[in-house]
C-alpha cells in the first residue's frame, strides 16, 4: 500500500492519500482580517480546491473537525457550513472552541474524505 503526500514541506503535507482516503491538514482563511463568515467561506473554498487536486470532493467527506476561536461565532460559521455541505452528504463532525495559532484566525478545519470511485 502506498502513501502519497502532496505539497510536502519539512513540517507537514497539505494532503495525504492512503487506502483511498484523503487526509487534509488544517485549512484556514485566505484573509485573516475578515469576519467569521468570510473566513469560513474562504477556508471551505481551500478545502474544495485541495480535495479536487487529489481526486475527491465535498460529497465524499467522511469527517470534519472544526476549531472556532469563540463559540459566540458558532451560528455564523454554521450558516456557511450548512450551505456548503451537499444535502445528504454531511460528514461525521466535531466542533470545538480552541486557541488559534494566530490571534486573527477565527476558524480552522481538518477534513478526512474518500477518493471518488
Contact 81, 108 (CB under 8 A): no
Strands of the 107-114 sheet, one edge to the other: 3-8, 13-18, 21-24, 107-114, 61-68, 92-97
Cα separation, 22 vs 45, in Å, equals 16
Determine the pLDDT at residue 117: 84
- As a whole-number percent, the residues of the chain with pLDDT over 70 amount to 100
Q: Give the model confidence (pLDDT) of 39-88 as tens digits.
A: 999 999 999 999 999 999 999 999 999 999 999 999 999 999 999 999 99
Q: Give the model confidence (pLDDT) of 54-68 as tens digits.
A: 999 999 999 999 999
pTM above 0.75, yes or no: yes
Whether the pLDDT of residue 1 is over 90: the answer is no
Amino acid at each position: 500500500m502506498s502513501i502519497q503526500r502532496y505539497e510536502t514541506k519539512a513540517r507537514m503535507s497539505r494532503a495525504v492519500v492512503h487506502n483511498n482516503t484523503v487526509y487534509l491538514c488544517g485549512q484556514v482563511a485566505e484573509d485573516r482580517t475578515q469576519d467569521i463568515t468570510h473566513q469560513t467561506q474562504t477556508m471551505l473554498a481551500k478545502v474544495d480546491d485541495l480535495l479536487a487536486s487529489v481526486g475527491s470532493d465535498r460529497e465524499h467527506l467522511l469527517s470534519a473537525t472544526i476549531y472556532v476561536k469563540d463559540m459566540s461565532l458558532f451560528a455564523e460559521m454554521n450558516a456557511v457550513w450548512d450551505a456548503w455541505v451537499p444535502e445528504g452528504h454531511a460528514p461525521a463532525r466535531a466542533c470545538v472552541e480552541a486557541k488559534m495559532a494566530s490571534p486573527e484566525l477565527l476558524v480552522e478545519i481538518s477534513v478526512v474524505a474518500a477518493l471518488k470511485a
